[in-house]
């Protein structure tokens, strides 16, 4: 018979800046969260994640390993970050060398229920709700769709 390995949700080995608010339940471990951030309930932030200053991470979002988020960013409700792009046609299955990094610049807003694959997103970008970002975003603007495409410039 298989015995389940049940682990508790919690906050373990997190480096917090000043004036950070976390609403529980939350599962945060081995990450760094900058000054004046807010983390909503039912959020998971995994190890080796770095979140800048003045960021908001709304409820039900998942930020996997190897994600870096700049300053003044918003990750809205239900956003999923992915670090395994199935490059070999299958999941990495524990081979961490196959995982890839994601970097969000400063002043990036990611709309609810978006999915962010391993990409780089420059400063001053809005990702529309429900979008799937599959490639790097190198120009400021608003992006939406699946796959996300630029729909307007930010003046």
pLDDT in tens, 85-112: 887 778 877 777 888 999 999 999 999 9
Q: What pLDDT, on the 0 to 100 scale, is given for residue 120?
A: 98
pLDDT of residue 2: 57
Residue of 36, 54, 60, 77 marked active site:
77
What DSSP assignment string belongs to 86-109? -TTSS--TT-GGG---EEE-SSEE
Per-residue pLDDT band at 37 (split at 50, 70, 90): very high
Q: What is residue 62's DSSP assignment? A: E
| Region 3-32 average pLDDT | 91
Q: What is the pLDDT of residues 135-147, one digit of tens each?
A: 999 999 999 999 9
The distance in angstroms from the start CA to the end CA of the chain is 61
The full set of domains in the chain, from first to last, is 11-83+99-152 (2.160.10.10)
- Residue 60 bears catalytic tag: no
| 107-134 pLDDT tens trace | 999 999 999 999 999 999 999 999 999 9
Q: What is the pTM of this model?
A: 0.93
Describe the strand order of the beta sheet including 132-133 as a list of residue ranges. Answer: 11-12, 26-29, 43-45, 62-63, 80-81, 115-116, 132-133
């Amino acid at each position: 018979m298989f015995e389940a390995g049940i682990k508790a949700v919690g906050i373990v080995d997190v480096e917090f800046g000043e004036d950070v608010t976390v609403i529980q339940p939350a599962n945060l471990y081995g990450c760094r969260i900058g000054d004046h951030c807010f983390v909503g309930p039912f959020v998971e932030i995994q190890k080796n994640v770095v979140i800048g200053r003045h960021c908001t991470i709304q409820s039900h979002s998942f930020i996997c390993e190897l994600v870096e988020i700049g300053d003044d960013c918003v990750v809205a409700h239900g956003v999923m970050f992915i670090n395994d792009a199935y490059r070999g046609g299958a999941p990495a299955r524990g081979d961490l060398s196959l995982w890839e990094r994601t970097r969000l610049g400063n002043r990036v807003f990611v709309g609810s229920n978006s999915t962010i694959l391993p990409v780089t997103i420059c400063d001053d970008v809005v990702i529309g709700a429900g979008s799937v970002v599959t490639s790097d975003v190198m120009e400021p603007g608003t992006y939406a769709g699946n796959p996300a495409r630029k729909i307007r410039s930010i003046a």
